[in-house]
Structure 1
Amino acid sequence: MTMHSDAIGRLDRLWERLLQGLGLAACALIGLMVLLICADVGARAFALGNLPWAAEMAEYALYLCTFLAAPWLLRQGRHVRMDMVLRALPATVSWALELAADALAAATCTALAAASFKAAIASAEQGSLVLKIFVFPEWWLVAPAAAMFAVLAVEFLFRLRRQWRGPRAVRDEATSAA
């Protein structure tokens, strides 16, 4: 093992810890969302009024926790995948297709991160606002997408490396549809 690959391996392990933190943040947001909705329902049930902003907060929390959880789920192999064709092909062909899929996904996430970043900057420059119960700059909604697509792109590159260095076969992911 070279010093370079050892450094990348350490970086990969640190990256995994970051993704675990993102997954925990998503779980915390889901917990807060549940508490908020229960509080709103409880307030109505006991004729204490309601929390008119609860649904909007839940909407934003759902959006954010989806982006926060995605890289962690990808790392864990708990994303949805259709691998029936991969499992029917010879192992080396499946392995090569896995590499190609990770490369394509990394490129796609990079393009989406760049487009989202550009949209966030344009929104900030225009001073666009979200006008609902809460009023705030629109770029606040776009920036997490830019950041998380960048995180996903990096994770796909790490997946590509792990696939390259691993057995020449299809991955044994946790949520296979086959």
Structure 2
Amino acid sequence: MIGSLDKAMGRVCDAFGIAASLVIAFLALSVGAEVIVRNLGLPAFGWTLEMCEYGLLVVTFLGAPWVLRRHEHISVDVLTRKVSPSVLRVLLTVSDLIATIACLLLAYYATQAAFHAWVKGSLLFKYLVVPQWIVLSVLPVGITLLAVEFLLRIWRRFVLEPAADPA
């Protein structure tokens, strides 16, 4: 059952990784188009900066589980290069557990914030008028997926790869 969850999580992470890359492409194109339009003396779009703000939020929180799953995140290996494989396995497991707890706490509070924004009908007034809950809903989704991925890393470390290099 956990194996099926792991495969499904891989597909979800891949989908969010693709979505994040499409958002980055959209942001790059829109900023480039805005520069061209301004240099031609035409009126600026107005929404570009705001979309970049929202896009960076989406890329960060939906792309993070994909990056973690692929082991492409930044890691400090000064200590982990110096310890034995068994100690390394314990250190990585403890750090994954701490990260899981932190993610679950953050997801809880992010969910509360998004829910309260939805109940109150809060709007973000900038160039675009956007319901705040839509923007905030990205946080609990991404953070919860991070928590699941941290737990799956522990499972893979002990079930799928017990004799392999734990890093």
CA–CA distance in structure 2, aligned partners of residues 135 and 114 of structure 1: 26
* Aligned-partner SS, 2:119: helix
Superimposed CA distance per residue, residues 23-68 of structure 1 (whole angstroms, 9 cap, x where no aligned partner): 0000000001111111111111112221111111111111111111
The answer on 1:81 being equivalent to 2:79 is no
What pairs up with 1:84-123 in 2 under 5 angstroms?
84-123=78-117
CA–CA distance in 2 between the matches of 1:108 and 1:62? 22
Distance, in Å, in 2 between the alignment partners of 1:60 and 1:71 is 18
Q: Percent identity?
A: 34
Q: Which amino acid aligns with 1:97?
A: L
Q: 1:33 matched to which residue of 2? A: 27
TM-score by length of 2: 0.92
Q: Residue in 2 aligned with 1:50?
A: 44
From 61, 69, 76, the equivalent of 1:67 is 61
Root-mean-square deviation over aligned CA pairs: 1.5
| Contact 1:103 1:157 survives alignment (8 Å) | yes
Where does structure 1 differ by over 6 angstroms across 4 or more consecutive aligned residues?
none
SS at match of 1:27: helix
Q: Structure 1 CA distance, aligned partners of 2:16 and 2:162? A: 29
State the 1:115 CA deviation.
0.7
Partners of 1:98 and 1:168 in 2: CA distance:
15
5+ long unaligned stretches in structure 2 = none
Q: What is the aligned partner in structure 1 of residue 136 from structure 2?
A: 142
